[in-house]
Structure 1
Amino acid sequence: MSTPGQPSLHRVELGRTVRRLREHRGMTVRALAGQLGVSIGTVSAIENALVGVSSERVVHLADALGVGPGLLMHGVAEPIRDVRWADAAGTRGAPGVGDWRHYAPLDLDPALRGALASFLEFGYHGSTMRGIAERADLSVAGLYHYYASKQQLLVTLLEHTMSELQGRTTAASAEGVDPWGRFALLVECQALFHSHRRELGFIGATEMRSLARPARDRIARVRREEQERIDLEVLAACGAGAFGTPRPHEAARAVVTMCTAIPQWYRHGGASTPEQVARWYVDFALDLVRCDPAHRPG
């Protein structure tokens, strides 16, 4: 509790978090102010807890700093790590290197669970904050306390999706010793993710068009980075003579498209497990790039 004339604890921690994120990215106060369209003095006042910050400005700050709004909403003051992986907003932990094949049940906060359920049933544009609140078992006012808008809920879900996928593919790639081996591991990882996390994958595939800038640009950039991981391995394997496709760029894109389409048909508890699907898709992908049998990973 703050005393008269003193800033609230949340305001102090918010300011500290903003400063640490800004410095972590090598941004100056002037650069952050320019992205927000405010004065340098306003950013300085936020970082020094001299002014309150509205929910709308928190969303703008989060976009400018490249994090989920939840990191700022809750006044996180813990050390900043690799934010794209550490800031899986709305989650309580993420797999580390070495356990990328393991999937615990998806653990989202009630508001995000409600938003995910509503977006899956009605789509983003057909969903309302009232309907999301009902699915989250929250009052509408309670929902707005944590998330300022439906757009913020969508951004947070898609940021989590790409953050988790990127962490897993980084770990999977690290296990490979050659381009064709890394390619197979990346395809396995993509297939596992898009079956185990089919709900997130479905929203990621269908609702990118509903994102507003700058969040859409940021998430699209991460999607391109994931595509480029596979592009580079296919090109390297072709250069080594392990893959025979005459169109490596097109083949790599076909492989990723094949994996990201899994949420369109996969159902939990159906005839196939995610692990079976992943094995099939690795075989499909190796055939597509015309992998030399002598270089097929075991």
Structure 2
Amino acid sequence: MSDEEHRDSLADQAAAWVPPWDRPRPPAADDTPDNTEVPPDESATAPGQDQEDLGRKEPLQGPELSKISAEPGANASGEVTEGLAGEPGSGAGDVPRRQLAGRRRATAAPEPAPELSDAELRGALEAILLVVDEPVSELVLAQVLEQPAERVGPMLDEIAAGYTAAGHGFELRRAAGGWRLYTRPEYATYVERFVLDGQSVRLTQAALETLAVVAYKQPVTRSRISAIRGVNCDGVIRTLVTRGLIEECGTETDSGAFLYRTTTLFLEKLGLNTVDELPPLAPFLPDDVEELADATR
């Protein structure tokens, strides 16, 4: 065969060649009849795909990914999802249903605290008041017990009235804007004997006089206190500040001198709620107070 005839034969063979994927399937013994449409074999090897790639699952790309993404409520992995708003297939923010359920449980509002009965509320208040070291307000008690403040106030009044009616050696009363348990004045001698145990922790006479001036004249300057008492009070004022009974509260506009006032510890020690409950001075003043004032001028 000449070279020219050989080339014509190769050209004819190339023109007649049919790719394997376009060739008709050979009939099998269990094939369906000719008039039945055979569904495409999804497990067949795609054109150009090696046999070793059949068992490997690759991520979908291109047109296949677009086809799946177009289906409502499906993501790239074929898993049905719901949007954050509860609508299927809401877009890039879609999450699986099981994740959405967990998120809903995590963001659910906490259940309100159960309402205590009157007996439970009374016992809880008494337990707290036994351990406080300073007066505690009704609002703080309501927050701790997770109960309405409208219930706490009347219950405290009821507890205080019950202690008084039963004649206990202690009482519950308001002091420094809150509530605290105190021993009754008629038993002060025995309590003082137990607490002091022979030790003197009393304020000096000078300290008591200075504290009284501050309590009734507050806010007041050092010079004003010294003028009322007639002696220098710098040392006594330092002592009262150190013990926490008085404190600075600004300066006087004209002179720039420091002003002093009593503290909540002062109210607590005296068992008062406000300084307005201090006893009036008029009954303790001498009858000739005006003559004495004129004489000192």
Same fold judged by TM-score > 0.5?
A: no
For normalisation by structure 2, the TM-score amounts to 0.19
- Larger-Rg structure: 2
| Structure richer in helix, relative to its length | 1
| Structure richer in strand, relative to its length | 2
Identify which of structures 1 and 2 has the higher relative contact order when contacts are C-alpha pairs closer than 8 Å and 6+ apart.
Answer: 1
For normalisation by structure 1, the TM-score amounts to 0.19
